[in-house]
Amino acid sequence: MSTPGEDRAAVVTGSASGIGRAVVERLVSDGWQVLGVDLEAAEDLKGAETLGADLTTREGNRAAVDTALEAFGRIDLVVPNAGFQHVSPVADFPEDRWDALLQILLTSPFLLAKYAWPSLVEAPRGGRFIPIASAHALAASPYKAGYVSAKHGVLGLVKTLALEGAAQNVTAAAVCPAYVRTPLVEKQIADQAKAHGISEDRVIEEVILTPHAVKRLIEPSEVADVVAFLTTPAGSTFTGVPVTMDMGWTAR
């Protein structure tokens, strides 16, 4: 019996750690050929090709697509995941951080979709575009103007790509998790514990997870499981939509 990803190829960005690494590992285990892209290539991603590229540039995004096509001869799936966070009141928000956030969180997914589109259209079992968005694509938090704006933009991009891809057997869906146990979040926990003079456990429950109805962090592997489902035939029914896994955040 063939594996779910047999003879299919994917590009996953932000693959060195956290959600991106978990997605790469899950796809590889399912038989996919995978190119993991990060600012510095993660050489320890077993079973995957890796590439170091600056995804805030057009050249970096082009290199990601070209490298995958050279290695695999095709691209069936793109998972834009690379990103970072900056927390600041809008009056003090550094303009260069705004620019960088939009470049990596919104412009990079657009460029990856643009450059990979011909291959996605040709994918025998249908092309998939599955960016890792956030609950912040659906709801806002103070002091995160750049991140929230970019993630809302990603959802708009997904809706547009779904309409354009409908007649070409390409689907687009944005995975929208709440707080995930990633290095990005763990750093926030440590910083908040120090700032508030409380334990990291208290920070998780009283600060980080305040918007969650279910008071726990999501594991990266759980996000990877959702991505894997969206690559299945049943997953093709999800297009132009957020796939929300937010622990009850947006139910409020």
More confident residue, 199 or 191: 199
d(CA 16, CA 59): 20
For every residue of 177-234, DSSP letters joined together read ESSB-SHHHHHHHHHHHHHHTS-HHHHIIIIITTT-SS-SPBPHHHHHHHHHHHTSTG
Name the average pLDDT for the chain: 95
Predicted structure pTM score: 0.95
**Average pLDDT of the residues in 157-168:** 98
In Å, what is the CA distance from 94 to each residue of 88, 100, 108, 192?
8, 10, 20, 21
**What is the rounded average pLDDT of the residues 198-206?**
88
Question: How much is the average pLDDT of 61-86?
Answer: 97
Query: For the purposes of burial, counting CB atoms within 10 Å of the CB of 177, is it exposed (0-12), middle (13-18) or buried (19 or more)?
Result: buried
What pLDDT score was predicted for residue 207? 82
Contact 55, 102 (CB under 8 A): no
Reported as a single tens digit per residue, the pLDDT across 13-68 is 999 999 999 999 999 999 999 999 999 999 999 999 999 999 999 999 999 999 99
Decide if pLDDT at 169 tops 90.
yes
Q: Which pLDDT belongs to residue 2?
A: 45
pLDDT digit string, tens, across residues 122-151 = 999 999 999 999 999 999 999 999 999 999
**Is there a contact between 119 and 112 (Cβ–Cβ < 8 Å)?**
no
Q: Looking at the annotation, which residues are catalytic?
A: 147
Average pLDDT rounded to a whole number, residues 84-94: 93
pLDDT for the residue 3: 60
At 1 the pLDDT is: 38
| Res 196 pLDDT > 80 | no
**In percent, how much of the chain has pLDDT > 90?**
84
